[in-house]
Amino acid sequence: MMKYNSTQDKSKAVLSAQAIAQGISQDGGLFVPESFPQISEKELKSMLSMSYQDRAKLIMGKYLTDFTADEIADCVDSAYTVEKFGSENPAPIATVEFNGEELNLLELWHGPTCAFKDMALQILPHFLTKSLQKVGGGKDAVILVATSGDTGKAALEGFKDVEHTKIIVFYPMNGVSAMQKHQMNTQEGDNVYVCAIRGNFDDAQTAVKKIFTDPATAAVLNENNMMFSSANSINWGRLLPQIVYYVSAYCDMVNMGKVAFGDKINITVPTGNFGNILAGYYAYEMGLPVKRFICASNSNNVLTDFIRTGVYNKNRDFYTTVSPSMDILVSSNLERLLYCMSGCNDEETKGYMELLKSEGVYTVSTKIKEKLQSMFWGGYADEDATARTIHDLFEQQGYLCDTHTAVAVSVCDAYIRETADKTPVVIASTASPYKFSRAVLSALNKGKMPESEFDMVEQLHEITGADVPKPLASLRGKKARFSDVTDKEDMQGVVFGALGIQ
Ligand SMILES: *Cc1c(COP(=O)(O)O)cnc(C)c1O
């Protein structure tokens, strides 16, 4: 059976159902698989002719060894349907030429909320329900989410009306796009609650983590027959589904004739909390032929500096950008990479995390730095570069990308120019451009900006002809259900209130 250890206390070892139900380890560490199951060359070859769903079942089966094959199949087949993702393959590749280089955009935003978070959050509720049956002791799960925009909506949509679950979402009042806010505030479902906080995403995430790991709060929930679980990307059930699409993308690249079987690819990921790119790295650890991960940041470029210097320093200005889902200075999942690259050293990992908490800065060992730099390349795109990329890609190819994807395209372009590395590259395209219509439309620079978000959507459609995703179009005129705002100090009270606990 595959066990999961805590990054801060290796002696903890739980099965996947426990890791998923619990979300985070009690010591504050993150659950990681004790070892990486391998994908043999033969297996990878066999996956070439498989559907996305069958590839998912094969890979997930290697990690969820306390689930039956039927249970896994049930989760996969309920999540990745044509109805929810628009086609058999939920993660298709679009090839474009940008500044003379061929880029393969892995479009991860065809799900119900039009961002890549759906790839994990459509399946997580199924994992969680089954995990609770195994280890939940009849308790209801309370899903607490801190979101920089896309996770919140994707989690709400994934968990709405799922039995034995309640979901509470906090988002930074001024840190999300108008469309993101509208998506969340109009959420349907009897088990959902949404609240804005005065503060930024890091404030929300820190407060949620604190509520989550507070023993007194856990005791109160326990008395009420509830337990916390997490839908944030620290939950193992979020990361696992993301490993799948990198393996699947490799297979599709081979099938499309973009790479010879067995040859390496590069992978570029627009990065915030480091979950998406970490999943790619885990795929590499499983044996996927990858040469290098290009970690793309926006002006909040703490990861760029980290990869280049080995010093992680969050003591810096925080910028609110047009790619809000990457406006993050504390990338939670980096902890898992440090654990991995330190050779599963829990003491060392814990030391870095404690320094981050107390000083806001830590310097990794030479060993980690060298390993890091051999596999990762960091770069960032500021607001101008992001806008220019959206504009140029559309002018050159008639392809419309969102602000986050534009950051990745821009950094990937810089990487190719700087290194002359011609390895075929896959770029994670993480959101529909219509989710960020204001920034995308203004980047195209085509005259006067309309007032309302939905008029911007319409104008963007008129200019580009790109389809407006139905889930966004249907929000027009929908009434908001939620409008609460709280201070971060009061979040715990808000949680109890939403749960009906006095
Ligand atoms: C969440 C998100 C990201 C960042 O992904 P991480 O896993 O947090 O690094 C990038 N782009 C979009 C559109 C997102 O929603």
The pLDDT tens digits along the chain (502 residues) read 999 999 999 999 999 999 999 888 989 899 999 999 999 999 999 999 999 999 999 999 999 999 999 999 999 999 999 999 999 999 999 999 999 999 999 999 999 999 999 999 999 999 999 999 999 888 999 999 998 778 999 999 999 999 899 999 999 998 888 888 999 999 999 999 999 999 988 899 889 989 988 999 999 999 999 999 888 888 999 999 999 999 999 999 999 999 999 999 999 999 999 999 999 999 999 999 999 999 999 999 999 999 999 999 999 999 999 999 999 999 999 999 999 999 999 999 999 999 999 999 999 999 999 999 999 999 999 999 999 999 999 999 999 999 999 999 999 999 999 999 999 999 999 999 999 999 999 999 888 899 888 899 999 999 999 889 998 998 988 999 999 999 999 999 999 999 999 7
Q: And the tokens for 465?
A: 């002809």
State how far the Cα of 191 lies from the Cα of 352, in Å rounded to an integer: 37
What is the structure's pLDDT at 426? 98
3-state secondary structure of 77: helix
Alpha carbon of 103 to ligand 1 centroid (Å): 19
Q: Probe ligand 1: pick from 184, 325, 427, max atoms within 8 Å of CB?
A: 325
Q: And the tokens for 473?
A: 């179009």
Which residues line ligand 1 at a C-beta cut-off of 6 Å? 115-117, 150, 233, 270-276, 325-326, 404, 430-431
Radius of gyration of the chain (CA): 21
Closest residue to atom 1 of ligand 1, CA basis: 325
Closest residue to atom 14 of ligand 1, CA basis: 325
What is the structure's pLDDT at 366? 98
Q: And the tokens for 240?
A: 């696992």
State how far the Cα of 292 lies from the Cα of 289, in Å rounded to an integer: 10
CA-405 nearest atom, ligand 1:
11
The total of other beta-carbon atoms located within 10 Å of residue 165's CB is 22
Per DSSP (E only), the strands in 93-240 are 93-98, 101-107, 140-146, 165-172, 192-198, 226-230
What is the structure's pLDDT at 70? 98
pTM: 0.94
State how far the Cα of 397 lies from the Cα of 489, in Å rounded to an integer: 48
Alpha carbon of 139 to ligand 1 centroid (Å): 31
3-state secondary structure of 404: helix
**Chain centroid to CA 329: how far?**
15
CA-404 nearest atom, ligand 1:
11
Please answer whether residues 333 and 273 qualify as being in contact, where contact means their C-beta atoms are separated by less than 8 angstroms.
Answer: yes
What is the structure's pLDDT at 258? 98
Closest residue to atom 15 of ligand 1, CA basis: 150
Q: Which residues of 12-35 are buried (b: 16+ CB within 10 A; e: fewer)?
A: bebbbbbbbbbbbbeebbbbbbee
